[in-house]
Amino acid sequence: MKICVLVKQIPGSEATFNVTPDGRWIQESGLPFEMNESDIYALEEALQIREKMGEGEVFVVTLGPDRCQKTIREALAKGADRAIHIKEEAPFCTDPLTIASVFTQVIREENPELVLSGLQSDDLGFGQTGVLIGEMLGMTTATLVVATEIQDEDIRVKRELEAGWFQWQTMKLPASLAIQSGLNTPRYPSLRGIMTARKKEIKDVSFNDLRNVDFLQSFKKLSIQHAEKHTEMIEGSVDEIVSKLVNVFKNEIRIN
Amino acid sequence: MMDILVVLENKSGSIHRMSLEAISGAQQIGEECGLSVGILALGENASALAADASQYSVEEVLYLENENLNSYTADGYSAAVAQVISAENPHYVFFGHTYQIRDYVPRISAKLKRPFLNDVVSYTVDGGKPTFYKQSFNSKLVSELQTSGDGPVLVSFQSAAYSSENIQNGSASTRSVNVDLDASVIKTTPEEPFQKEAGGVDLSKADLIVSIGRGIGKEENIPLVQELAKVIGAELASSRPVVDSGWLPSHHQVGSSGQTVAPKLYLALGISGAIQHVVGMKGSKNIVVINKDPDAPLFEIADYGVVGDILEIIPKLTEALNG
Ligand SMILES: Cc1cc2nc3c(=O)[nH]c(=O)nc-3n(C[C@H](O)[C@H](O)[C@H](O)COP(=O)(O)OP(=O)(O)OC[C@H]3O[C@@H](n4cnc5c(N)ncnc54)[C@H](O)[C@@H]3O)c2cc1C
Ligand SMILES: Nc1ncnc2c1ncn2[C@@H]1O[C@H](COP(=O)(O)O)[C@@H](O)[C@H]1O
Structure confidence by residue, pLDDT tens digits, B250-259: 999 999 999 9
Question: Is residue A47 assigned to a domain?
Answer: yes
- A217 lies in a domain? no
Q: B-contacting residues of A 188-227, CB under 8 Å?
A: 213-227
pTM for the structure as a whole = 0.96
Query: Does pLDDT of B155 surpass 90?
Result: yes
**pLDDT tens-digit series, residues B3-31:** 999 999 999 899 999 999 999 999 999 99
Give CA–CA dist B305/B267, Å, rounded: 10
User: What span, in angstroms and rounded, lies between the C-alpha atoms of B275 and B280?
Assistant: 9
Ligand 1 atom 2 nearest Cα: B276
pLDDT band at A14 (very low <50, low <70, confident <90, very high): confident
Asked whether residue A249 is assigned to any structural domain, the reply reads: no
CB contact under 8 A, A124 and B114: no
Half-sphere exposure of A163 (CA within 13 A, CB side): 9
Three-state DSSP at A175 gives strand
Check pLDDT > 90 for residue A256.
Answer: no
Q: Give the integer Cα–Cα distance in Å for B286 and B283.
A: 9
| B 189-248 residues inside an 8 A Cβ radius of A | 189-196, 208, 232-233, 240-241, 243-244, 246
**Position A149 in a domain:** yes
* pLDDT value, residue B203: 93
Residue B32 sits at the chain A interface (C-beta within 8 Å): no
The lowest-confidence range among A7-21, A191-205, A217-231, B102-116 is: A217-231
Report the pLDDT value the prediction gives residue B35, as an integer from 0 to 100. Answer: 97
A161 belongs to a structural domain? yes
- Say what the pLDDT of residue B198 is: 66
Q: Report the CATH number at residue A138.
A: 3.40.50.620
Q: Which residues of A touch B75 (CB under 8 A)?
A: 140
Beta strands (DSSP E) in chain B are: 4-7, 10-11, 14-15, 37-42, 60-64, 92-96, 116-126, 129-136, 141-147, 153-157, 173-177, 188-190, 194-195, 208-212, 235-238, 265-269, 286-291, 304-307
Choose the mutation target among A225, A243, A247 for the interface with B, i.e. most B CBs under 10 Å.
Answer: A225
A221 falls within a domain: no
The answer to whether position A240 is within a domain reads no
Instruction: Tell me the best of B158, B225, B291, B301 to mutate to test the pocket of ligand 1, counting ligand atoms within 8 Å of each CB and taking the most.
Output: B291
Answer yes or no: is pLDDT of A1 > 70: yes
Query: For ligand 2, is residue A117 a contact (CB within 6 Å)?
Result: yes
pLDDT in tens, B262-311: 999 999 999 999 999 999 999 999 999 999 999 999 999 999 999 999 99
pLDDT, residue A148, reads 98
Identify the pLDDT of residue A13. Answer: 81
The count of domains in chain A is 1
The answer, yes or no, to whether residue A226 has pLDDT greater than 80, is no
Q: What is the pLDDT of residues A27-38, one digit of tens each?
A: 999 999 999 999
B56-80 pLDDT per residue, tens: 999 999 999 999 999 999 999 999 9
DSSP string, A113-143: SEEEEES--TTT--S-HHHHHHHHTT-EEEE
Domains (ranges, CATH) in chain B?
4-185 (3.40.50.620), 203-322 (3.40.50.1220)
Among B42, B39, B51, which Cα is nearest to B81's?
B42
- Any domain includes A16: yes
- Asked if the Cβ–Cβ distance from B103 to A221 is below 8 Å, we say no
**Rounded distance, CA B158 to CA B11, Å?**
17
- Give residue A97's domain range: 2-210
Q: pLDDT tens, B197-246?
A: 767 788 999 999 999 999 999 999 999 999 999 999 999 999 999 999 99
User: What's the whole-number mean pLDDT along residues A160-174?
Assistant: 94
